[in-house]
Structure 1
Amino acid sequence: MDETDLLPEPMVRVLADYERHLRAERDLTPHTVRAYLADVAGVLEHAHRLGQTDAAELDLRTLRSWLAKQQTLGRSRTTLARRATAARVFTAWLARTGRASADAGATLATPRAHRTLPSVLRADEARDLIAAAVAAADDGTPVGLRDVAMLELLYATGVRVGELVGLDVDDVDRERDVVRVLGKGRKERTVPFGRPAAAALDAWLRRGRPALMAEGAGGALFLGARGRRIDQRAVRTLVHRRIAEVPGAPDIGPHGLRHSAATHLLEGGADLRSVQELLGHASLATTQRYTHVTTDRLRRAYQQAHPRA
């Protein structure tokens, strides 16, 4: 039984209105819409158990009670923080659209999430990762050429795996060696790539993609084994398989390559604002965590090398 089946009609209606708002007005991805709706449905279900029958009756006490219940169920701080944000966005929408007389979640505190430093590759490990893919592609098969091109582009640009699989051939500009990326919130950005990625892309587009392409491929840049747009799972499998061939490297996925690209850019002297723009981060604070990674590395190197460490 769906959670909304237990809700009174006024709550079901407002949830449907909110879904239309998220899809049509905010133009969020289906995955993001589902996540928001699941969290909001949980809020409304909790409020209904407390005797409320309309979203307009939500108050701060109910929201705090809902979060407290999530905590007793063992939800992580990261999950609690995300759900608190979802509740605040929802109550702000209720107030803004006149569905509630006040914004009940305006002062709802967000539990501070534990921040862990991401695992990243060293620069030599990143080179070994690409080399492993190149060695596997020695037979010149379309799949081998594709794998090299995908790994080169992931590491060169730091794009998210969802952004990579969403690329079309027309998104690649070889005259300027940049790729047009559609990121979170449908925000478009232009990201440069270097000569190794350009060479790998050329080989894939000339000799790999035409041989693999099947009906229904459309303009997809990267294709799966059946000749249609590749999916995220296949890319993750590739990255984990090739990482396993690099001695001592942490077991990372595509997002780990994104972390590695950001870290290496900062270690190479790139400024935070430029890295923020390249990665498509909405907040500079998100990019700043990579400075902690580089500082942590510097500290370890100091402790290992300095006689008075």
Structure 2
Amino acid sequence: MSAVISSQVVLSRTPEGPLAAYIGSFANALNTLGYAVSSVHRQVRIAACFSRWLGQERVALQSVTADHPVRYLQCRAQHLRSCPGDLAALRHFIDFLRREGVVPAEKIAVQQLTPIDRCAEAYEQYLREARALARATIVNYVPFIRDFLSHRFGDGPVMLSRLCAGDVVRFVQCQAPRLHRRRAKLMTSALRSFLSYARYRGDVAVDLAAAVPIVPNWSMMSIPRAIAPDQVRQLLASIDRRTAIGRRDYAILLLLARLGLRSGEVASLKLDDIDWRVGRLTVCGKSGHRGGLPLPPEVGKAIAAYLQRGRPHSTSRCVFLRAKAPVRGFQGASGVGSIVRHALQRAGVDAPTTGTHQFRHGLATEMLRKGASLGEIGDVLGHRHLQTTKIYTKIDIVALRTLALPWPGGAQ
């Protein structure tokens, strides 16, 4: 006898077993997340078979664990051919049951922390709570400190009071030759931060941060790689705005090119961040700093077109959503970077890079050439220090040529 599970799924028999009562809710959850009808039907069908097997094995509801899907598929493989997505479907089902509070969360065995782990975690907490540093900075700093502690103390106890200047110098001399100049400079910055933290705690009496060797780093030695205005126009013209994905990608590219947003800022943009009445956008930048920017009509129209005729139905407050299930906001900056990379490839644009930062550089370059001050450029790009913006003075080639001295002898 067939059983109607949802408006889109009908099974050949009524679900049985300890999880049968939750099959319909699981189907509705998959529909909400934007899965295709065929995918919903396949996942619901194997979930129902899994529940029936649990009943046959006399597994109680509160006893279901992440191991049971694996055991079920091993048993099922003896008489039926498995499909590649079966295990993933059952894991989706288990995750759904956990979110609903039906199945208890897995108990994760608590691992014994090493002395280095405890010291590194305390430092990480200090950076996050006391210093309020950006997550990216913390992620970059902590591994260097783990390496430093391992280099000095090995598997033994970590006694910061025994650190001396020689320990610091030897570590930098050992590691710096293996690293790119920028990574080596980042390592020394992490060491100075950690040694200042150790002194702040009272574990170190002297200023060991001053003993960290300096990695040569000439200010603004490189030129920002900026995408050219004609390349931006070619890229935008290549987007098919007749499709939902095209309208989304076009709006994202405009935010990058016209406002110079970082990829992470685009990914984290929420519906509440747009004030349509006054035409203003609130952006959450580095270190949680929030700033406002005027919303150009061109950008506002593109976002509105996506919201009205492209954005999937979702409870998410993120402006931009994934096009494929599960439909939700981007997990991070990499999603926006992927959109840019594929758009450049499809358009055949020979851009300086395949990343998103070239749009910030391109915007700053154009503003400088049109007479904008460094302060105005820094305000648009969300720079908190003028020194960060000064690098763009190197790319105003026309202005720099006026400063060049004649070559002796008249040669050009």
- Give the Cα separation in 1 of the matches to 2:120 and 2:136: 16
Pairing of 1:55-94 with structure 2 (within 5 A):
55-72=160-177, 74-94=178-198
**8 A Cα contact 1:189 1:278, kept in partner:** no
Which letter maps to 2:299? Answer: A
- Give the Cα separation in 2 of the matches to 1:297 and 1:223: 43
**8 A Cα contact 1:119 1:250, kept in partner:** yes
Gap regions ≥5 residues in structure 1: 303-307
**Closer, same or farther in 2 for the Cα pair 1:112/1:192, shift >3 Å?**
farther
**8 A Cα contact 1:36 1:86, kept in partner:** yes
**Closer, same or farther in 2 for the Cα pair 1:174/1:107, shift >3 Å?**
farther
Q: How far apart are 1:128 and its partner, in Å?
A: 1.7
Determine which of 275, 281, 285 is the counterpart of 2:387.
Answer: 285
Residue by residue over 1:48-91, the C-alpha shift from the partner in whole angstroms, topping out at 9 and shown as x without a partner, is 2599841232222221211111123x211100100100110111
When normalised by structure 1's length, the TM-score is: 0.83
Partner of 1:305: none
Partner of 1:118: 224
Pairing of 1:67-216 with structure 2 (within 5 A):
67-72=172-177, 74-113=178-217, 115-133=221-239, 136-137=240-241, 139=242, 141-209=243-311, 212-214=312-314
Largest Rg, 1 or 2? 2
- Give the Cα separation in 2 of the matches to 1:293 and 1:206: 40
Partner of 1:234: 335
Which letter maps to 1:228? Answer: R
Q: How far apart are 1:270 and its partner, in Å?
A: 1.5
**Closer, same or farther in 2 for the Cα pair 1:44/1:247, shift >3 Å?**
closer
Q: How high is the sequence identity, in percent, across the aligned residues?
A: 28
- Give the Cα separation in 2 of the matches to 1:130 and 1:202: 17
Partner of 2:133: 28
- Give the Cα separation in 2 of the matches to 1:50 and 1:224: 45
Determine which of 309, 315, 319 is the counterpart of 1:221.
Answer: 319
Q: How far apart are 1:38 and its partner, in Å?
A: 0.6
**8 A Cα contact 2:172 2:213, kept in partner:** no
Residue by residue over 1:134-185, the C-alpha shift from the partner in whole angstroms, topping out at 9 and shown as x without a partner, is xx22x2x221111111000111111110111011011112233322111111
**Secondary structure class of the residue paired with 1:82:** helix
**Closer, same or farther in 2 for the Cα pair 1:247/1:38, shift >3 Å?**
closer
- Give the Cα separation in 1 of the matches to 2:349 and 2:138: 40
**Secondary structure class of the residue paired with 2:250:** helix
- Give the Cα separation in 2 of the matches to 1:196 and 1:149: 9
- Give the Cα separation in 2 of the matches to 1:126 and 1:76: 31
Q: How far apart are 1:278 and its partner, in Å?
A: 2.1
Q: How far apart are 1:45 and its partner, in Å?
A: 1.2
**8 A Cα contact 1:85 1:110, kept in partner:** no
Q: How far apart are 1:33 and its partner, in Å?
A: 2.3
Residue by residue over 1:3-40, the C-alpha shift from the partner in whole angstroms, topping out at 9 and shown as x without a partner, is xx996x3x543323212212222333444323221111
- Give the Cα separation in 2 of the matches to 1:296 and 1:162: 33
Pairing of 1:243-258 with structure 2 (within 5 A):
243-244=344-345, 245-258=347-360
The count of aligned residue pairs is 289
Partner of 1:260: 362
**8 A Cα contact 2:267 2:330, kept in partner:** yes
Q: For CA contacts below 8 A with separation 6 or more, give which structure has more relative contact order.
A: 1
